[in-house]
Structure 1
Amino acid sequence: MADRRLREAARWVALAAAVAVLVIFVVAQRQSADVSYGRSPSTSAGVTEGAAGELSDATVPSAEQMTAMINKTDVVRLPGSVARWDEDRVRAAMGAERMRILVAPPGLDKAERDRVRDVRDATIRVIGTEVTGGAYQATGDSLDDWRAEFAAGDVTNLLITLIAGLREQPPPADADGVRWREPAAAEVAAVAAQLRRTGLYTAPGATLTEVPGQNAFPGREPLYVAQPRQSSDAPLVRYGPALTRLFPGRPIVELHGDWIEYHGPDAGDFAEVAAAGFYAQFGDRLSRYAYPQANVLGAYLGRVTDVRYAGLFDRPLPYRPADPLRVALPVLPWLFVACVGVFFALSMRSLLRPLRRPRARREHGTPARLAGLTALAVEMSALTDSRSESALTRGITALTAARSALDDDLPETHVRSLLTDAEADLDQAARLLPYPGYRPADYLRERLA
């Protein structure tokens, strides 16, 4: 009886486990697939206009005033404008066709940008460094274009590309990007001294006063050099190579206006991928807004973190504890099948037991013997008197115990022992009856015959 109850409990426990595994597996399917080496902690959540300090104090006149201004001269530069270009190359691209260019400052809100676009007599409009005209907008598509645009405000290539589109002509080859020069020893010494003290050098005119809290270079303390947007008329000072020699193994992040360069360990392709991804995504916003350098740097460091977590350059990744649910998910379907298999195996055992047990024991005659002695006890119960009643009662008790033992799959020897005791008691009761033929040996022989 105890073994039977244990099997029943195991059967229902297996079924409950299968149901629980199925529920966990189905609920877990809400998780998104993750194909990177780790989930980057950087975020690129959108913000409403003006919430990130991208709007400046600059304003523009009314559309009527700007129309009057553009009708007096071919190029109108509104106060605060930052875009510059090679006038000779742009004039050559226009040819004999007259084109008017309206240049507005960056950081205008939507209403002010709409006023600039309402100036119909302007052939080309430049807001910050965003270049539009007609149905076209010219945007950079290479590091050289972005470097010239965001480090020096140079939109020469953009203007020439747009003019070619307006004239329905193929654009000429792009001009060379910005020019660089190595800093003088005194310049390097002044920057290096400040970096040793604070890790940040801010040149006059730059707006970076504090480094965003981004862990883009774990295990290495980066150094930051911030310079304002510079004119493309003179070569720009590049401190990165000189500082890399002074601070070997330290990441160097250098800002020129809105342009950011990385120097230091593993620069190479890693720096190009990080810069290309950043300016391809944010270049359009940077061209027309006036973000503080701290905001631009924070977004750039977030992109560096994303590139590191992508595992493209075999950079060491921060430790992330394993998610036990994700590890267990591939095993859950197999565990479900195993639990269901156990349930059905135990269920089939219970269903097939009545079919298998009589066949297995018929060879020993135990079921037939039990049936015969039971029939004998039933007949004798109607004939007993006070002398044979106690023996018959003992025999019936032994038969009941034998049937229970047979149902519970107890050992065969135990069942036969109970039947032997029952047969002895019934034989004793039969000898006390006044009727022949009720002794077990005679009754079973006649029953089988």
Structure 2
Amino acid sequence: MSDRLQRLRWVFLAAAVVMIVVFLLAQRQTVDVSYAQSPSGKDTVDEGDAGELTDTDLPSTGELTTMLDEERIVRLPGAIAYWDEKLVSDALGDADIRILVTPPGLTEKQHDQLNEVENATIQVVGTQVTGTLYGATSDDNAGWRAQFTTGDVTSLLMTIIASERDQELPADVDLFRWRAPTAAELAPVVADLRADRLHRADGATLTAVPDRADTAFPDEEPLFAAFPQQPHGQPVPEYGAALEKEFPGRPIVVMYGNWAEYYGPHAESFSDVVAAGMYNRFADRLASYAYPQDNVLGVYLNQVTDVRYAGLFDRPLPYQPFDPLRVALPVLPWLFALCVLAFLGLSVRRVLGPGVGPPRTPPARLAGLTTLAIEMSGLSRDAALARAITKLGEARASVADDLPYRHVRRLLDSAESELDTAARALGRADYRPVNYLAGGIS
């Protein structure tokens, strides 16, 4: 093998080593779920500093115990949970189950006080429902919408009652219904939105358009309409659907109590994705505390920003500079394999020489080595050449006498070794048997 090919062989090996090292180092990755570095605000707020607590004064533990002894269901002033009375009454039957219903936003100390009321089988704090062992929560948008729009806890109560009575859990009950708003109801909402993008109905706690609204909806200025929790058992006016006709193409967020509903571009899928992401994480907290609508809407807009910034719903992904390593990584294993094959191929060539390979049978080897010895005899008087010729003569006689090939091979191996020594002494690599015989006998 020439020096150039030998150097090339080591270049391929070095390249293979570099590629495998780079590839293995690149596998040390960590997961960073950041929605492509979404700019949504996620400021930490200390407990009690977000307006989620109320100034509710609870009766003493003894008073609550007495009230529950006298009444099956005790509802304290300020409670916001409602249910279908017939369905719940039928579920209770004649079971000795006592239900205590309190306002949301209780302090930790007040929660501890409620736990001391031993005859309260079921507690409803805000719209959070818990029994002696388990709690019940909504798990889809329909359930969360009813819970936070009208305070409906019918399904949650029936689930806990069935659990307390050791019965099979009932199917969810969907009592929520929409209706179209009347012209008189819609007119002031439209007027406020045209004036300053915000409508606040009596009883709503939203105070202003949130600062992060433009981050959540960067293409069009969004509109916001806020309403208090709606009356239970009555159809809810669907202002969003009517406002879409008045403001086509504009993002619209309508709040009913702690429920935020999106209308506008991609509303069919976008609204469900955002709502599920938010209420799946925060429903338990929103159910038991009295957060102002400003706080709830801020969290909702963060979720909108995260979803939109992830590249969904026709929002482009943020620009990422070209990364050669990221592009090259998938092909590195293949380049590594090619370099290894090239190294092995050149290594085999170095051992066997070029061509179809040396002759294998003793007669063929004898003929090849004899031809080589004749060519070298005109150039060398080396003793090794003389010894090789002697061994070849012995091998030729052994073949003629039909001696075992094992004996002939030993003679040929010895002759080949002597010819290799003579070729090295001449400085002729092409006369080395491994190279000379590689092309076969012509």
Q: Which residue in 1 is equivalent to 2:53?
A: 56
Which of 16, 29, 32 matches 1:31? 29
Q: Is the deviation greater in 253-262 or in 267-276?
A: 267-276
Question: Are residues 1:283 and 2:283 paired?
Answer: yes
Distance 2:304 2:81 in 1: 28
Distance 2:324 2:223 in 1: 38
Note if contact 2:189-2:199 (Cα within 8 Å) is conserved in structure 1: yes
Which of 63, 71, 92 matches 1:94? 92
Q: Which residue in 1 is equivalent to 2:144?
A: 146
Which runs of structure 2 are paired with 1:156-235 in the superposition (5 Å)?
A: 156-169=154-167, 171=170, 174=173, 176-178=175-177, 180-185=179-184, 187-196=185-194, 198-204=196-202, 205-207=204-206, 209=208, 210-212=210-212, 215-217=215-217, 219-232=219-232, 235=235
Distance 1:18 1:139, change over 3 A: same
Note if contact 1:212-1:294 (Cα within 8 Å) is conserved in structure 2: no
| 1:250 partner amino acid | R
Gaps of 5+ in 1: 376-401, 410-449
Q: Which residue in 2 is equivalent to 1:431?
A: none
| 1:137 partner amino acid | G
Distance 1:42 1:368, change over 3 A: farther
* CA deviation map 1:291-332 (0-9, x unaligned): 343443344345556666888x86454355365444433211
Distance 1:43 1:221, change over 3 A: closer
Which runs of structure 2 are paired with 1:61-80 in the superposition (5 Å)?
A: 62-80=60-78
TM-aligned CA deviation for residue 103 of structure 1: 1.9
Distance 2:234 2:79 in 1: 19
Distance 1:156 1:74 in 2: 16
Distance 1:360 1:14, change over 3 A: farther
Distance 1:27 1:245, change over 3 A: same
* CA deviation map 1:106-133 (0-9, x unaligned): 2334443232122111122111101122
- How many residues end up aligned between the 2 structures? 379
* Secondary structure of the corresponding residue to residue 381 of structure 2: helix
Q: Which residue in 1 is equivalent to 2:380?
A: 371
Note if contact 1:208-1:226 (Cα within 8 Å) is conserved in structure 2: no
* Secondary structure of the corresponding residue to residue 265 of structure 1: coil
* CA deviation map 1:270-298 (0-9, x unaligned): 43344345434432232123334344334
Q: Is the deviation greater in 193-202 or in 45-54?
A: 45-54
* Secondary structure of the corresponding residue to residue 131 of structure 1: strand
Question: Are residues 1:240 and 2:249 paired?
Answer: no
Q: Which residue in 1 is equivalent to 2:392?
A: none
Distance 2:246 2:134 in 1: 47
* CA deviation map 1:27-72 (0-9, x unaligned): 23333799x9x85848899979728837414454553443344345
* Secondary structure of the corresponding residue to residue 330 of structure 1: helix
Distance 1:214 1:369 in 2: 95
Q: Which residue in 1 is equivalent to 2:12?
A: 14
Distance 2:207 2:69 in 1: 40
Note if contact 1:42-1:303 (Cα within 8 Å) is conserved in structure 2: no
| 2:337 partner amino acid | V
Distance 1:291 1:366 in 2: 102
Q: Which residue in 1 is equivalent to 2:80?
A: 82
Distance 1:113 1:344, change over 3 A: same
Note if contact 2:16-2:340 (Cα within 8 Å) is conserved in structure 1: yes
Query: TM-score, normalising length from structure 2?
Result: 0.68
Note if contact 2:123-2:129 (Cα within 8 Å) is conserved in structure 1: yes
TM-aligned CA deviation for residue 365 of structure 1: 6.6
| 1:372 partner amino acid | R
Distance 1:308 1:52, change over 3 A: farther
Q: Is the deviation greater in 39-48 or in 267-276?
A: 39-48
Q: Is the deviation greater in 245-254 or in 298-307?
A: 298-307
Which runs of structure 2 are paired with 1:320-359 in the superposition (5 Å)?
A: 320-321=319-320, 324-352=324-352
* Secondary structure of the corresponding residue to residue 195 of structure 1: helix
Q: Which residue in 2 is equivalent to 1:378?
A: none
* Secondary structure of the corresponding residue to residue 380 of structure 2: helix
Gaps of 5+ in 2: 359-367, 385-424, 431-442
| 2:265 partner amino acid | P
Note if contact 1:207-1:228 (Cα within 8 Å) is conserved in structure 2: no
Query: TM-score, normalising length from structure 1?
Result: 0.67
Q: Which residue in 2 is equivalent to 1:428?
A: none
Note if contact 1:154-1:232 (Cα within 8 Å) is conserved in structure 2: yes
* CA deviation map 1:385-428 (0-9, x unaligned): xxxxxxxxxxxxxxxxx956x45x7xxxxxxxxxxxxxxxxxxx
Distance 1:76 1:177, change over 3 A: same
Pairwise CA RMSD of aligned residues?
A: 4.5
Q: Is the deviation greater in 20-29 or in 86-95?
A: 86-95
Distance 2:188 2:323 in 1: 49
